[in-house]
Amino acid sequence: MEKVDRRVRRTRALLGQALRDLILTKPYETITIQDITNQADLNRATFYLHYASKEELLMDSLKQQFDALVEQLEVEKNGRPMWENPVTLRLIFEYVAANGDLFKVLLGPQGQGHVMYRVINYIAQVDEEELESAFGQDALPIPNAILARHFAGALFALISWWLEQDMPYSPAYMAETIQQLCMAGFIPVLAEVGSGARAN
Protein backbone atom coordinates (compact mmCIF):
# COMPACT_ATOMS: atom_id res chain seq x y z
CA MET A 1 0.00 0.00 0.00
CA GLU A 2 2.82 2.39 0.85
CA LYS A 3 4.43 1.73 -2.54
CA VAL A 4 1.13 2.56 -4.26
CA ASP A 5 0.73 5.75 -2.24
CA ARG A 6 4.29 6.76 -3.04
CA ARG A 7 3.68 6.14 -6.75
CA VAL A 8 0.49 8.19 -6.66
CA ARG A 9 2.25 11.06 -4.89
CA ARG A 10 5.11 10.93 -7.39
CA THR A 11 2.75 10.98 -10.38
CA ARG A 12 0.75 13.88 -8.97
CA ALA A 13 3.95 15.76 -8.20
CA LEU A 14 5.11 15.29 -11.81
CA LEU A 15 1.79 16.56 -13.15
CA GLY A 16 1.78 19.52 -10.77
CA GLN A 17 5.32 20.51 -11.70
CA ALA A 18 4.51 20.15 -15.40
CA LEU A 19 1.55 22.51 -15.05
CA ARG A 20 3.58 25.05 -13.07
CA ASP A 21 6.34 24.98 -15.70
CA LEU A 22 3.81 25.50 -18.49
CA ILE A 23 2.09 28.39 -16.69
CA LEU A 24 5.40 30.27 -16.82
CA THR A 25 5.69 29.86 -20.58
CA LYS A 26 2.14 30.27 -21.95
CA PRO A 27 -1.28 31.61 -20.88
CA TYR A 28 -3.05 29.28 -18.48
CA GLU A 29 -6.26 29.20 -20.52
CA THR A 30 -4.38 27.86 -23.56
CA ILE A 31 -2.76 24.97 -21.70
CA THR A 32 -4.28 21.60 -22.60
CA ILE A 33 -4.24 18.25 -20.85
CA GLN A 34 -2.05 17.02 -23.69
CA ASP A 35 0.45 19.82 -23.00
CA ILE A 36 0.60 18.78 -19.35
CA THR A 37 1.06 15.07 -20.03
CA ASN A 38 3.70 15.78 -22.69
CA GLN A 39 5.58 18.01 -20.25
CA ALA A 40 5.36 15.36 -17.52
CA ASP A 41 6.20 12.54 -19.96
CA LEU A 42 2.99 10.72 -19.01
CA ASN A 43 -0.06 9.69 -21.01
CA ARG A 44 -3.55 11.21 -20.88
CA ALA A 45 -5.04 8.09 -19.31
CA THR A 46 -2.66 8.50 -16.36
CA PHE A 47 -3.76 12.12 -15.96
CA TYR A 48 -7.44 11.16 -15.78
CA LEU A 49 -6.72 8.50 -13.19
CA HIS A 50 -5.82 11.36 -10.85
CA TYR A 51 -7.65 14.48 -12.01
CA ALA A 52 -10.77 15.39 -13.94
CA SER A 53 -9.41 18.71 -15.23
CA LYS A 54 -6.40 21.00 -15.22
CA GLU A 55 -8.28 23.22 -12.71
CA GLU A 56 -8.48 20.32 -10.28
CA LEU A 57 -4.77 19.65 -10.77
CA LEU A 58 -3.91 23.30 -10.16
CA MET A 59 -6.01 23.51 -6.98
CA ASP A 60 -4.56 20.26 -5.63
CA SER A 61 -1.02 21.39 -6.36
CA LEU A 62 -1.56 24.75 -4.66
CA LYS A 63 -3.29 23.14 -1.68
CA GLN A 64 -0.33 20.82 -1.13
CA GLN A 65 2.02 23.81 -1.16
CA PHE A 66 -0.21 25.81 1.20
CA ASP A 67 -0.57 22.86 3.57
CA ALA A 68 3.21 22.53 3.74
CA LEU A 69 3.51 26.27 4.41
CA VAL A 70 0.89 26.14 7.18
CA GLU A 71 2.75 23.27 8.83
CA GLN A 72 5.90 25.40 8.84
CA LEU A 73 3.95 28.37 10.22
CA GLU A 74 2.57 26.23 13.04
CA VAL A 75 6.12 25.42 14.13
CA GLU A 76 7.11 29.10 14.16
CA LYS A 77 3.97 30.55 15.76
CA ASN A 78 4.94 29.88 19.38
CA GLY A 79 1.35 30.42 20.42
CA ARG A 80 1.10 33.85 18.78
CA PRO A 81 -1.54 34.55 16.11
CA MET A 82 -0.33 35.24 12.59
CA TRP A 83 -1.25 38.94 12.58
CA GLU A 84 1.00 39.77 15.55
CA ASN A 85 3.89 37.48 14.68
CA PRO A 86 6.41 38.94 12.19
CA VAL A 87 8.14 35.56 11.87
CA THR A 88 5.10 33.81 10.41
CA LEU A 89 4.26 36.80 8.22
CA ARG A 90 7.85 36.87 6.95
CA LEU A 91 7.65 33.17 6.08
CA ILE A 92 4.55 33.86 3.99
CA PHE A 93 6.32 36.57 2.01
CA GLU A 94 9.43 34.42 1.64
CA TYR A 95 7.25 31.63 0.27
CA VAL A 96 5.61 34.01 -2.20
CA ALA A 97 9.01 35.37 -3.24
CA ALA A 98 10.38 31.85 -3.81
CA ASN A 99 7.41 31.17 -6.12
CA GLY A 100 7.17 34.72 -7.42
CA ASP A 101 7.01 33.94 -11.15
CA LEU A 102 4.12 31.53 -10.63
CA PHE A 103 2.14 33.78 -8.30
CA LYS A 104 2.63 36.80 -10.57
CA VAL A 105 0.82 34.91 -13.29
CA LEU A 106 -1.88 33.39 -11.09
CA LEU A 107 -2.62 36.41 -8.90
CA GLY A 108 -1.91 39.24 -11.34
CA PRO A 109 -4.40 41.28 -13.41
CA GLN A 110 -4.65 38.49 -15.98
CA GLY A 111 -4.73 35.76 -13.33
CA GLN A 112 -7.35 33.17 -12.57
CA GLY A 113 -10.25 34.40 -10.45
CA HIS A 114 -10.86 31.00 -8.87
CA VAL A 115 -7.23 30.88 -7.73
CA MET A 116 -7.55 34.27 -6.03
CA TYR A 117 -10.76 33.14 -4.35
CA ARG A 118 -9.14 29.94 -3.07
CA VAL A 119 -6.05 31.76 -1.77
CA ILE A 120 -8.13 34.32 0.15
CA ASN A 121 -10.38 31.58 1.49
CA TYR A 122 -7.39 29.53 2.60
CA ILE A 123 -5.81 32.46 4.48
CA ALA A 124 -9.18 33.39 5.99
CA GLN A 125 -9.73 29.86 7.26
CA VAL A 126 -6.41 29.93 9.12
CA ASP A 127 -7.16 33.41 10.48
CA GLU A 128 -10.63 32.40 11.66
CA GLU A 129 -9.21 29.47 13.61
CA GLU A 130 -6.65 31.77 15.23
CA LEU A 131 -9.31 34.35 16.13
CA GLU A 132 -11.41 31.68 17.78
CA SER A 133 -8.38 30.44 19.69
CA ALA A 134 -7.42 33.97 20.82
CA PHE A 135 -10.85 35.49 21.56
CA GLY A 136 -13.34 32.61 21.61
CA GLN A 137 -16.13 31.88 19.19
CA ASP A 138 -18.68 34.48 20.33
CA ALA A 139 -16.59 36.86 22.45
CA LEU A 140 -16.54 39.64 19.84
CA PRO A 141 -19.56 41.49 18.42
CA ILE A 142 -17.99 41.29 14.96
CA PRO A 143 -18.17 37.69 13.69
CA ASN A 144 -14.82 35.93 13.45
CA ALA A 145 -15.56 35.02 9.83
CA ILE A 146 -15.84 38.70 8.85
CA LEU A 147 -12.67 39.68 10.73
CA ALA A 148 -10.76 36.77 9.21
CA ARG A 149 -11.76 37.71 5.67
CA HIS A 150 -10.93 41.35 6.34
CA PHE A 151 -7.38 40.43 7.34
CA ALA A 152 -7.03 37.83 4.57
CA GLY A 153 -8.22 40.29 1.93
CA ALA A 154 -5.81 42.99 3.14
CA LEU A 155 -2.90 40.54 3.21
CA PHE A 156 -3.79 39.24 -0.24
CA ALA A 157 -4.00 42.78 -1.65
CA LEU A 158 -0.56 43.63 -0.27
CA ILE A 159 0.95 40.42 -1.61
CA SER A 160 -0.54 41.09 -5.07
CA TRP A 161 0.74 44.67 -5.07
CA TRP A 162 4.17 43.54 -3.86
CA LEU A 163 4.42 41.07 -6.73
CA GLU A 164 3.22 43.58 -9.33
CA GLN A 165 5.92 46.00 -8.16
CA ASP A 166 8.60 43.30 -8.46
CA MET A 167 8.96 42.93 -4.69
CA PRO A 168 10.59 46.31 -3.92
CA TYR A 169 10.73 45.57 -0.18
CA SER A 170 12.14 42.55 1.62
CA PRO A 171 9.88 39.86 3.09
CA ALA A 172 11.03 40.95 6.56
CA TYR A 173 10.07 44.58 5.91
CA MET A 174 6.64 43.61 4.58
CA ALA A 175 6.04 41.36 7.59
CA GLU A 176 7.04 44.05 10.09
CA THR A 177 4.91 46.66 8.31
CA ILE A 178 1.81 44.47 8.36
CA GLN A 179 2.37 43.67 12.01
CA GLN A 180 2.67 47.38 12.83
CA LEU A 181 -0.54 48.13 10.93
CA CYS A 182 -2.36 45.37 12.77
CA MET A 183 -1.03 46.28 16.19
CA ALA A 184 -1.77 49.99 15.61
CA GLY A 185 -5.30 49.55 14.37
CA PHE A 186 -6.83 46.12 13.91
CA ILE A 187 -5.78 44.46 17.17
CA PRO A 188 -6.42 47.39 19.57
CA VAL A 189 -9.91 47.78 18.12
CA LEU A 190 -10.53 44.09 18.68
CA ALA A 191 -9.27 44.32 22.25
CA GLU A 192 -11.41 47.39 23.00
CA VAL A 193 -14.52 45.99 21.38
CA GLY A 194 -13.96 42.63 23.01
CA SER A 195 -13.55 44.09 26.49
CA GLY A 196 -16.65 46.22 26.00
CA ALA A 197 -18.66 43.21 24.91
CA ARG A 198 -17.51 41.21 27.91
CA ALA A 199 -18.30 44.13 30.26
CA ASN A 200 -21.84 44.32 28.92
pLDDT at 56 over 90: yes
Angle at 56 between CA 159 and CA 70, to 5 degrees: 45
- Average model confidence (pLDDT) across the chain: 81
Residue 192: predicted pLDDT: 59
What is the topology classification, in CATH, of domain 1-52? Arc Repressor Mutant, subunit A (1.10.10)
What is the topology classification, in CATH, of domain 54-199? Tetracycline Repressor; domain 2 (1.10.357)
DSSP-derived secondary structure for the chain: -HHHHHHHHHHHHHHHHHHHHHHTTS-GGG--HHHHHHHHT--HHHHHHH-SSHHHHHHHHHHHHHHHHHHHHHHHHTT--GGG-HHHHHHHHHHHHHTHHHHHHHHSTTS-HHHHHHHHHHHHHHHHHHHHHHH-SSSSSS-HHHHHHHHHHHHHHHHHHHHHTT--S-HHHHHHHHHHHIIIIIHHHHHHHHHHHHH-
Q: What is the pTM of this model?
A: 0.75
Of these ranges, 29-38, 173-182, 191-200, the one predicted with the greatest mean pLDDT is 29-38
Write the pLDDT tens digit of every residue in 121-137.
878 888 888 778 777 77
Give domain limits for the chain.
1-52, 54-199
